[in-house]
Homo-oligomer: A and B are copies of this chain.
Amino acid sequence: MAEKITPRADDYSKWYLDIVKEAQLADHSDVRGCMVIKPNGFALWEKMQRALDGLFKATGHVNAYFPLFIPMSYLAKEEEMAEGFAKECAVVTHHRLKAEKGRGLYVDPEAKLEEPLVVRPTSETIIWKTYKNWIQSYRDLPVLVNQWCNVVRWEMRTRLFLRTAEFLWQEGHTAHATREEAEREAHMILMDCYRRFAEEWMAMPVLTGPKSEGQKFPGAIYTLCIEAMMQDGKALQAGTSHFLGQNFAKAFDVQFLNDKQQLEYAWATSWGVSTRLIGGLIMTHSDDQGLVCPPRLAPTHVVICPLGKNEEERRASESAAQNLAAALRSLPREEFFGYEPIAVKIDTMYEKQPGFRFAEYELRGVPVRVEIGPKDLEKQACVIGRRDRPGKEGKQFGVPLSSAAAVIRDWLVDIQQSLFNRAREYRDRLTRTVDRWEEFQQEIERGGFLLAHWDGTRETEDRIQEATGATIRCIPFDQPEERGSCILSGRPSTRRVAFARAY
């Protein structure tokens, strides 16, 4: 099995695509830049959605749905938006095809739209156009709405999950009566929803903080982000939360009567995470054996492989497997598992070699694997293996069947924590403080986050990127104030920022 996967050390990029392909997560489609998310990949996305949706709802948000199409004139209303997205979008210009003998199907020139429609690259414009009807008074505020949907950006270079022309995401769009409340919302989403989800569900540690001016969202006053570190030393922007000020309220004339009966423009935030997170999950935890999936997001938590050379042995093993599965499924529903039963699969592909069967589930990232064979049954026991520690090290032999369900439940919780600890140690090891430009240039080649002083100008940021390929990923909230001088210009700085090469 493992030979299907190129080792990370040989070719990281190929390793990634091998995992996506062999764990059957996604595939390229014939439609340029669009992917097919296969059942194994979509099951991951469903678990992510469920958890994130719970976090959004627990913080007072509701879901809604807005049109896929955005009239071209809406995009034009917000200048930075138009500049940021016009260059790469899918444009609907006609509403009919026609068929003709010999010629086949063609676009009917008589069915041209009066105004071209853009397939949404993000929905600020159409949503704020709608909010104009929803918001008249401060009593209508805040509006705390989220949408799960597909969006399209006509990317030239695509990579499965990480960058595709069409992708799935959620986009939150909130409207508030005051600047303070909107800023609080943008921060709350970042820290209490995105950071929590990344760390507690994905087991993926993240830096949190604002982007620099050069990296912010078109139309935002500022952009906050969670930024993760992949195993190859490249950073991944995993989620963003934007404080939009009154830009969209002004562009779409969304004014409300405040409690003093004065007209004011509403204050806005928007925030999103996408199927890109699946790429982040893969690149944070997986190994040369295949996918490694944190238990809280695993579509299947436990696979049980009954073993046996003949019908009789198999029947006995299978019966023990059924009992264990039932015991696992009937454990009390816990918050950790989203109040759902532990998901157990019994594999009975006896026609395949046991080694092949085990390797298959290793490849797919199932967190816990159980083997029950005739020798185990003699002792009323089983063998349990944990995916985060492949090989003998992660195996426990002779686990009594009577206590196996409880042991496995505890292992699942432990695996979640171990994955997070390992990823954080790795990230911390790859995060270095750098004070000299020559050192910066050398160190950036080794990957990871470089914490360095920066003079706060766009010009310096651009020069550093040109020279090294590194960008400012984040101005971390948790960096202390300290006097220093910019790594490139030598000008004074009060705080270190995190540089890295990035996806």
Chain A residues at the B interface, C-beta cutoff of 8 Å: 27, 29-31, 34-39, 41-43, 45-46, 62-73, 75-76, 82-83, 86-99, 104-107, 116-119, 126, 129-130, 133, 145, 149-150, 152, 154, 166, 168, 333, 339
Contact = CB atoms under 8 A, between A and B. Distances in A.
Contacts of A130: 27, 29, 36
A68 B154 CA distance: 13
A93 B109 CA distance: 12
Contact of A70 (B31, B46, B126): B31
A146 B38 CA distance: 11
Contact of A69 (B34, B88, B116): B34
Top 5 closest pairs, chain A to chain B, by CB: A34-B67, A86-B97, A39-B62, A37-B65, A91-B94
Contacts of A82: 97, 99, 105
A31 B63 CA distance: 20
B67 A31 contact: yes
27 contacts: A27-B130, A31-B71, A34-B67, A36-B130, A37-B64, A39-B62, A43-B63, A68-B166, A69-B166, A72-B106, A73-B105, A75-B97, A75-B105, A82-B99, A86-B99, A89-B97, A90-B95, A90-B117, A91-B93, A91-B96, A93-B107, A96-B154, A97-B116, A119-B119, A149-B150, A150-B150, A333-B333
B67 A38 contact: no
A65 B36 CA distance: 6
A91 B27 CA distance: 24
Nearest to A104: B76
B42 A62 contact: yes
Contact of A89 (B64, B71, B73, B95): B95
Residue picked from A82, A88, A90, most chain B C-beta under 10 Å: A90
Given A30-B71, A43-B63, 13 more contacts: A31-B67, A31-B117, A36-B66, A37-B64, A39-B62, A39-B63, A68-B152, A69-B166, A72-B105, A86-B98, A87-B96, A90-B117, A92-B92
A71 B90 CA distance: 13
A43 to B, nearest CB: 7
Contact of A64 (B42, B91, B106, B145): B42
Nearest to A145: B39
Contacts of A93: 91-94, 107
A423 to B, nearest CB: 27
Q: Kindly name the residue among A65, A90, A149 whose own CB sees the greatest number of chain B CB atoms within 10 A.
A: A65
Contacts of A91: 92-97, 107
A37 B65 CA distance: 5
A36 B173 CA distance: 14
Nearest to A150: B68
Contact of A68 (B43, B70, B119, B333): B119
Nearest to A50: B50
Contact of A29 (B89, B99, B126): B126
Given A92-B90, A94-B91, A119-B119, A67 B99 contact: no
A66, A72, A73, A168 interface centre (most CB from chain B within 10 Å): A66
Contacts of A31: 67, 69-71, 117, 126
A165 B67 CA distance: 10
Nearest to A130: B36
Contact of A97 (B36, B39, B65, B72): B72
A255 B371 CA distance: 36
Contacts of A70: 31
Given A97-B118, A149-B150, A90 B62 contact: no
Contacts of A129: 30
